Amino acid sequence: MTQLSKTRGLLDIPERYVTLLPIDPEKTFTLEVEVAKSHPFESRCLHCLASVAAITVRNNDTAEIGVSIREINFGPEGRAIKRRKEGLPIV
């Protein structure tokens, strides 16, 4: 597990995906953050255990999601990277 220097973050997502998130702050979800290709490691990913702290819906069909990060693990490529390689949509 990586030591956290910040425990909060913001996500900008299409509003239609808000219903996929667990709104209860006691429930967690895995947030995968792809490491840039210019990073010296192979395709890797930050796997963050997070919960929703706040939701703000904007007028342009996007939503700003405030998240509380509980834990971060640096590991192999995430689900989104695998799906992109297979030509599948990322949700």
Confidence of residue 63 (pLDDT cuts 50, 70, 90): very high
CA distance 13 to 34: 16
Confidence of residue 30 (pLDDT cuts 50, 70, 90): confident
Q: Which pairs from 55-60 meet CB under 8 Å and 24+ separation? A: 55/18, 55/23, 57/15, 57/18, 58/15
- What's this model's pTM, rounded to 2 decimal places? 0.69
The pLDDT value given to residue 54: 92
Are the CB atoms for 5 and 65 separated by under 8 Å?
A: no
Confidence of residue 71 (pLDDT cuts 50, 70, 90): confident
Domain ranges of the chain: 8-85
